[in-house]
Structure 1
Amino acid sequence: MAAPSLTLLITLSLLFISLPRSEPLPENPSMILLGDGFEWPISHGDAFDIDGGESFEDVADRRSLYWKRKRYYISYGALSANRVPCPPRSGRSYYTHNCFRARGPVHPYRRGCSSITRCRR
């Protein structure tokens, strides 16, 4: 009786050892940070082009903007190009010219016809 239980024990042990091991995942797997040593793939077809006369290092330096340690900022002009001209819930039309300086009563549902609305409501 010892022999069947011993073979069963060995079989279960081998089965347990052969199972794949699971590793713990980070809390948020989509938020894995890449270090500074991360390399972007470069197309080697153009890098070793003999007609171009450029070395591999020149092509890699020219194409790689990731390695530059510059800080890029968005200018105030670029930010103001996409801003909403009138504050929300002010009652003024989105198309009111210079709505921040506009004075007078606001009647959002009694506006006249304009080229934008074409009198359709």
Structure 2
Amino acid sequence: MGTLRLQSLEKITFIDKEGDTHTFEVADGDNLLDIAQANDLEMEGACGGSCACSTCHVIVSDADMYDKMPEPDDDENDMLDLAFGLTETSRLGCQIKMSKEMDGLEVKLPSMTRNLQASDFASKEKKG
């Protein structure tokens, strides 16, 4: 008879643009972009989670929780520089993976995002 292994679940709360809270139980390794999209929250993720845009920008509510996260790498910092409403605790949702240390994480979705891919496409279309 096999051993039943339980996967630990962590809680995450998203505060949407209207200020409503949405709390979910998620598995280790899930990233915030995937969680938001699976639960129909407004987080675009224009680049598909490849750290090539800033449309999954989130603001971590608790500075202590932010400090527990791995440091953003250079690619993430470059994309964060392009985000609207950047704060000291801003991160890209595609780069934050849930873990035991992240249990209870709360993030706010900013009121605006910048989709560089869409604006680049629109400007190319006008020229063409």
Larger radius of gyration: 1
> TM-score w.r.t. structure 1 length?
0.23
> TM-score w.r.t. structure 2 length?
0.22
Higher relative contact order (CA 8 A, sep 6+): 2
Which one has a larger percent strand, Structure 1 or Structure 2?
Answer: 2
